[in-house]
Amino acid sequence: MAAVAAAARPAARRRRGLRGGPRPDQAGAAVSIVVEDLTFRYGERVTALDGISLTVELGERVAVIGANGAGKSTLARQLNGILTPTGGRVVVNGLDTARHPISRLAAEVGYVFQNPDDQLHARTIGAEVHFGPRNLGFPPARARELVDRALAATGLTDLVDVHPHHLSPARRKLVAVASVLAMDVPIVVLDEPTAGQDRVALDGLGRLVDELTAAGRTVLAITHDLDFCAERFDRVLLLDNGRLLADGPPLEVFARAAERVPQVVRLSRELGWPTAARTVPQFVDLLRRHAAG
């Protein structure tokens, strides 16, 4: 947050009405993210992304999965300009990331870092969550409203005066999520949101994804949590060694990733069902139907 939100000055940008819904670009008004033949190298030796192309529509929810080192975080960091392409291009909400500063992109894309300690800097949770909307130039009353809503959505309302570093890493992650929510950006990128979270927080995060996309926000989440992925996402990108190996509905993509599937999917397959369950309730429902004959 420190890097992104601090860079979000000047506040006047928002007053000039430069943010909001998607603006027309070559791919059309409903397009949220365009990635064209994206290649990214760290130095000379490491090709972290290799010829990735995809389009994400406004309001879509997309999960990005893949083994450690597959390139997931590198892809996510292209979306807010922390990294820019070595080859190809990335366009978010009509803005080519290579042609706009991080400060401009911060008004379009909120990025929740994998490690919240890379993001949090304020002395209280309240101040942390307030930082982004204030720097983006929201009028005070609107900023207050956004902060209150973000705190409530992440279950942190009663902790506004607490120092983030007095919380567990999983709770600090929720502070990072709240900080991004409060910025009210059209595109939200979550890097490993569920790591270390308990069931209550997991359900809360799932509801957040539902609410954000219902409100027309685009959500892209990097995750190793395949249950979360299967339960909450309609579209999954499978990265493998910097390449986009599969892009489609969860069950189709899991079929390409034989060893990486949620338990209910694996159980469905082991039981020889023609249609696999994606979630536990679906599994129970199918089990009842099969048992009934």
Ligand X SMILES: Nc1ncnc2c1ncn2[C@@H]1O[C@H](COP(=O)(O)OP(=O)(O)OP(=O)(O)O)[C@@H](O)[C@H]1O
Residues that bind ligand X (CB under 6 A): 42, 46, 48, 66, 68-74
CB 112, CB 173: distance < 8 Å: yes
Does the CA dihedral 273-261-53-25 come out positive or negative? positive
Say how far apart CA 226 and CA 6 lie, in whole Å: 34
CB of 158 to ligand X, least distance (A): 32
CB of 156 to ligand X, least distance (A): 25
Of the two residues 21 and 69, which places its CB atom closer to ligand X in the complex? 69
CB of 91 to ligand X, least distance (A): 20
Pair type for strands 46-57 and 31-42: antiparallel
CB of 70 to ligand X, least distance (A): 4
Q: What is the DSSP string of 179-204?
A: HHHTTT-SEEEEESTTTT--HHHHHH
Of the two residues 32 and 223, which places its CB atom closer to ligand X in the complex? 223
CB of 45 to ligand X, least distance (A): 8
CB 161, CB 126: distance < 8 Å: yes
CA dihedral 247, 248, 253, 256 (to 10 degrees): -60
CB of 195 to ligand X, least distance (A): 10
Of the two residues 66 and 164, which places its CB atom closer to ligand X in the complex? 66
Our CA angle for 201, 180, 115, nearest 5°, is 65
CB 53, CB 77: distance < 8 Å: no
Say how far apart CA 40 and CA 210 lie, in whole Å: 31
Say how far apart CA 58 and CA 48 lie, in whole Å: 26
Say how far apart CA 125 and CA 148 lie, in whole Å: 11
Of the two residues 74 and 93, which places its CB atom closer to ligand X in the complex? 74
DSSP tag of 259: T
CB of 44 to ligand X, least distance (A): 11
Say how far apart CA 89 and CA 95 lie, in whole Å: 10
Of the two residues 113 and 131, which places its CB atom closer to ligand X in the complex? 113
CB of 256 to ligand X, least distance (A): 16
CB 33, CB 53: distance < 8 Å: no
Of the two residues 192 and 231, which places its CB atom closer to ligand X in the complex? 192
Of the two residues 74 and 154, which places its CB atom closer to ligand X in the complex? 74
Of the two residues 74 and 135, which places its CB atom closer to ligand X in the complex? 74
